[in-house]
Amino acid sequence: VYGSLARAAKVRGQTSYVAKQGKKNKPRGCTHKRIQYNRRFVTAARFCGIGCYRCRGGTTARLTLS
């Protein structure tokens, strides 16, 4: 054991407290499916053929494969 348990929460104790912020709920149901479809097929069709999964990743991967 390299450090004692007394020093275990050193960094957490040093950081200042920040209250949690409220987040928007993620879309569910039909809305989520529509967003998935647009992400996979509609926007991907601009770079490759319809339904092409080669275009995943960064712009460098997209430029070299298509």
What does the pLDDT look like over 20-58, one tens digit per residue? 999 999 999 999 999 999 888 887 666 665 556 665 555
Give the range of the structural domain holding residue 35, as residue numbers without chain letter: 26-66
- Band of residue 63 on the pLDDT scale cut at 50, 70, 90: low
Of 19, 40, 18, 36, residue with least CA distance to 28: 36
43 within domain boundaries = yes
18 within domain boundaries = no
Q: How many domains does the chain have?
A: 1
In angstroms, rounded to a whole number, what is the distance separating the alpha carbons of residues 58 and 6? 44
Q: Is the pTM of this model over 0.85?
A: no
8 within domain boundaries = no
Q: Any idea which residue has 């920040």 for tokens?
A: 18
